Structure 1
């Protein structure tokens, strides 16, 4: 499969430098590399695209990463992986549901394949940390790859097998592989949070550096305006 053959074209291990470091403001880190403009698509336009679902820590970070990828038309922050109906941010944040912060990715399969989105997912977070991503701890920040059909499940499992076979990580991958059930859109103030709040302390200290590390290592995946 191309997904395995191209595995080491991307220096995945470089993305996790300082992943566990103490979070602090970096005066040299700016929001200049965040996507500056965004095309708003109607619901009808969005429905022409395929969807994919992932969870890998704070959805502010994950949304910004996927929105920088060519072929991705829209990314929505929300909650998935649990049984609670209509969860709120407060419920999820305090561990009162089984949901994780997740994203809904609308993408054009003629531009980017699901297998490449899986590469983006694994290459933009540390899949070996249990119920944690960077400074964020709790089951709501766990790593999950959701699949909608057998083909997607196989792509995920094959990619994990390739990562493990080639010992890309020093620790076991703990990413959950879950059949997609329901995605609940997060409150409106969470949508495009990183884009709209470039100087917010968490965004400057955690989100922007994470986005910039991804962009440095996945240059061929980026939209022209995000280079």
Structure 2
């Protein structure tokens, strides 16, 4: 069911927040020694960041923009759906604790991959579902997962997730980082982000951090 009221709230918030003059910057995709990085787009990055950071083995998730061609895009530009970019998260993790395969499981367990250019009440190409890969092995893991979900008919509709090589990732403006933590009473957070996170917690079979 589409949450139209939440959509109106989001539009209003977008208009107000986009007056920020903050600049974005390209994020280094080279993790520290012994660490790894994965990038996913699955709708509003506020909730995606919150979800991935709750998973054991994840050190940090950074909100940003990727998948398009515009350099150093602003939130306002990405929200216009004309840059080719999607809201995404760069997930820094410890491969000794959690695998890329398990992060792909988190990705598909935490959003609806069957709605093209939409996630919940959010519409437009910047909210599309994308799983990024760094090498042939990661690409195979993603494609195998899509095949598994399709064969087992986990979703009623076909999966429309794009599978793309990892490209430049631009870190979103500071006010987007850890947004749920800093704005727990914001209407969109209370009406959309938190319910989505709670749904994920009920269905995800992997390990979550205490008090997450």
Q: Could you tell me how far apart the structure 1 residues matched to 2:4 and 2:202 are?
A: 20
| 1:92 paired residue among 78, 81, 86 | 78
1:98-177 to structure 2, matched below 5 A, reads 98-177=84-163
Q: Report how far residue 23 of structure 1 moved.
A: 5.2
Which is worse superposed, 212-221 or 136-145? 212-221
Shift of 1:117: 0.2
What is residue 199 of structure 2 aligned with on the other side?
A: 213
CA distance in 1 between partners of 2:138 and 2:50 (Å): 23
User: Match of 2:115, SS?
Assistant: coil
1:55 aligned to 2:77? no
Equivalent residue for 1:178? Answer: 164
Normalising by the residue count of structure 2, what TM-score does the alignment of the two structures yield? 0.85
Deviations 1:199-219 (A, max 9, x none): 000000000001111112225
Any unmatched runs of 5+ in structure 2? 7-27
**Alignment partner of 1:22 is 2:8:** no
Counterparts of 2:101 and 2:3, CA distance in 1: 33
Aligned residues: 188
The CA RMSD over aligned residues, in Å, is 1.5
- Does the residue aligned with 1:195 lie in a helix, a strand or coil? helix
The separation in 2 between residues aligned to 1:175 and 1:111, in whole angstroms, is 26
| 2: CA distance, partners of 1:209 / 1:58 | 13
Structure 1 residues 170-191: Cα deviation after superposition (integer angstroms, max 9, x where no partner): 1110000000011100000000
**Aligned partners of 1:148, 1:63: CA distance in 2, in Å?**
20
> Which residue of 1 is the match for residue 65 of structure 2?
79
1:94 CA drift (Å): 1.1
Task: Note the residue ranges of structure 1 that are not aligned, 5 or more in a row.
Answer: 1-19, 26-42
SS at structure 2 position matched to 1:221: coil
- Give secondary structure in 1 for the equivalent of 2:211: helix
Deviation at 1:47, TM superposition (A): 1.7
Q: Does residue 223 of the first structure (1) align with residue 209 of the second (2)?
A: yes
Distance 1:121 1:57 in 2: 11
Distance 1:210 1:192 in 2: 16
Give the deviation of 1:24 after TM superposition: 5.5
SS, match of residue 51 in structure 1: strand
